[in-house]
């Protein structure tokens, strides 16, 4: 027996749902899924502009101008939600044994398929959740000519810091489905979709947010997801055309249904 995922379009465009209202609705649906009153349910919606901070957010990653932030009970760090971004909250019962990373990978897989259908190649990045566009390959470093500054260690050119040493690196997010972490061999990777979850009584809350055509300057006030050595992007930026939430919504629903259909009930 496989899982059935019910979809609820909770508010898109002018009907965008304030974050606190959606959070309360998540808690209500979570109780129903836990008790067996409702099947696994995915809320799909947009939020008015808001910053939300997971439990691991550092003070230095918050807005410096006093912009309000909603502190939430999910994993991860600080991010932005707002118009032009499709948000999904899969509230689902996880099979035994509980594997939160597998749940994250399922959401990533569905969103990677959405991007592929739109004509954009995306991937996972080792140690980091979400869906990414990889930076361009950096040409091999060579010694500078003439009298230029030569940053060498024991006769070797200094390498870029290894991302695997960063505190936000999660060693559980590794394997052949993840692109190697960027240790200076690529330009900045760009995060297209963020993921943060919480599991209570074997049922998930929170979920994903994929940038369709938002105002990307909203990310300038924070350190998105606590990651200082990567960028943030959108489908519209990467594809060079407007890609609206309305266009992405049915694709997300289709691919989430396909991926979650293979989860044992």
Peptide bond between residue 97 and the one before it cis (omega within 30 degrees of 0): yes
Catalytic residue from among 42, 115, 212, 225: 225
- The answer to whether the CB of 190 falls within 8 A of the CB of 232 is yes
Active site residue 212: no
Length of the chain: 265
Q: Please, what is the end-to-end C-alpha distance for the chain in angstroms? A: 6
Name 197's bridge partners. Answer: 206
The H-or-E segment that residue 101 falls in is: helix 100-118
Which tokens go with 161? Answer: 């810091």
- The answer to whether the CB of 76 falls within 8 A of the CB of 198 is no
Which of 96, 168, 158 minimizes the C-alpha distance to 129? 168
Residues 6+ apart with CB under 8 A from 118: 235, 239, 243, 247, 248, 251
Active site residues: 225
């Amino acid at each position: 027996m496989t899982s059935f995922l019910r979809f609820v379009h909770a508010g898109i465009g002018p009907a965008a749902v304030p974050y606190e209202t959606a959070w309360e609705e998540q808690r209500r649906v979570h109780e129903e899924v836990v008790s067996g009153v409702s099947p696994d349910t995915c809320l799909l919606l947009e939020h008015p502009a808001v910053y939300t901070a997971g439990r691991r957010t550092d003070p230095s990653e918050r807005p410096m101008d006093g912009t309000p932030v909603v502190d939430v009970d999910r994993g991860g760090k600080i991010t932005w939600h707002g118009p032009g971004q499709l948000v999904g909250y899969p509230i689902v019962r996880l099979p035994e044994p509980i594997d939160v990373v597998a749940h994250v990978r399922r959401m990533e897989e569905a969103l990677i398929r959405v991007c592929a259908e739109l004509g954009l190649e995306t991937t996972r990045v080792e140690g980091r959740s979400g869906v990414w566009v990889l930076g361009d390959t950096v040409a091999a470093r060579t010694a500078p000519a003439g009298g230029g500054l030569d940053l060498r260690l024991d006769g070797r050119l200094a390498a870029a810091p290894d991302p695997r040493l960063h505190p936000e690196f999660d060693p559980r997010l590794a394997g052949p489905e993840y692109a190697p972490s960027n240790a200076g061999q690529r330009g900045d990777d760009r995060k297209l979709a963020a993921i943060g979850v919480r599991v209570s009584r074997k049922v998930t809350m929170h979920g994903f947010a994929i940038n369709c055509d938002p105002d990307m300057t909203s990310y300038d006030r924070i350190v998105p997801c606590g990651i200082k050595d990567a960028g943030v992007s959108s489908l519209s930026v990467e594809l060079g055309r407007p890609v609206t939430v309305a266009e992405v919504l049915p694709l997300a629903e289709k691919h989430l249904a396909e991926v979650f259909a293979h989860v044992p009930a």
